[in-house]
Structure 1
Amino acid sequence: MTITPEDLVTDAGRLLLPPAEAPLALTPGLRARAAAVLLRLALEQALDTYWKQVTPRMTRIGKHRMLCLEWYAGYDAARRCRTTWAALSAACHYRAYELPPAPAEIQARLREVIALLTALGAGPATAAKTDCTDT
């Protein structure tokens, strides 16, 4: 059984807005942090799928796939991807001196991840200016 990015986004949405009849064993901050982990995983899986379509070698390089995204998916998609990934990464980490992320903040990131899944699912938008995997 394979879990798709769409499944992860759906599960994150259920964590953020649980059904009324569901028992609320987790605090809203803990549910928001768990949803952030699922959303970041969905974004990373979508990036892997995207790069498999473009050049499979890029899936082995973690940081470079974000940096080279601008030449393949366009400036706006690359900027949104970097910003969303960084915000989700910050929300995933537990720090004793910080409050957990607010559910409304993660809900906004959920909408952004959905938009990015759509943008990355369309394949490369423009031809590559340079081959980032050869550097």
Structure 2
Amino acid sequence: MSASPQAMVTAARRLLLPEAGAVQSLAPGLRARAAAVLLRMALDLALDAYWLNVTPSMTHVGKHRMLCLEWYAGHETARQCRTTWTALSAACHYRSYELPPASVEIHARLQEVDGILAALAPDDNGLSGTST
């Protein structure tokens, strides 16, 4: 059983903006990195769902599904998806010589993922966010 992309975005938002009075056992950098992992997973799930609606064989192609996105979802959505996915991938990796990602940076990526999820969501006609 897998979670929905929106559920992962909500979990990432809770990590970045914990409720007032909540006990915070994780350091801010660790929460930001965990939120980045959740956001990248949400983006991957959204891409899978998008391609499942457009052409199911693209869910097995991996990186090519992002490269082909421009012809199906539009240039801006494809560019935003590539940029955000790359930034989140970099934030997910632990390197002993680098500081963890800042919560502010990951929160900005969260807003971008929200926009991408909206762009890739099926419209009222049952078609995924295709451009005309």
Identity percentage over the alignment?
65
> By how many angstroms is 1:126 displaced?
3.6
Partner of 1:125: 130
Q: Confirm or deny that 1:116 pairs with 2:129.
A: no
Distance 1:86 1:75 in 2: 17
**Alignment-mate amino acid for residue 63 of structure 1:** K
- TM-score computed with the length of structure 1 as normaliser: 0.91
Cα deviation for residue 21 of structure 1 reads 1.8
Which residues of structure 2 form unaligned runs of 5+? Answer: 123-127
- Unaligned stretches of 5+ residues in structure 1: 128-135
2:50 matches 1:50: yes
RMSD: 1.1
Amino acid at match of 2:45: Q
Runs of 4+ with >4 A deviation: none
What letter matches 1:69 in structure 2?
L
- 8 A Cα contact 2:12 2:35, kept in partner: yes
Deviations 1:20-77 (Å, cap 9, x if unpaired)?
A: 2211111100000000000000000000000000000000011100000000000000
Q: CA deviation at 1:2?
A: 3.9
Q: Does the alignment pair 1:22 with 2:22?
A: yes
Aligned-pair distance for 1:124? Answer: 4.1
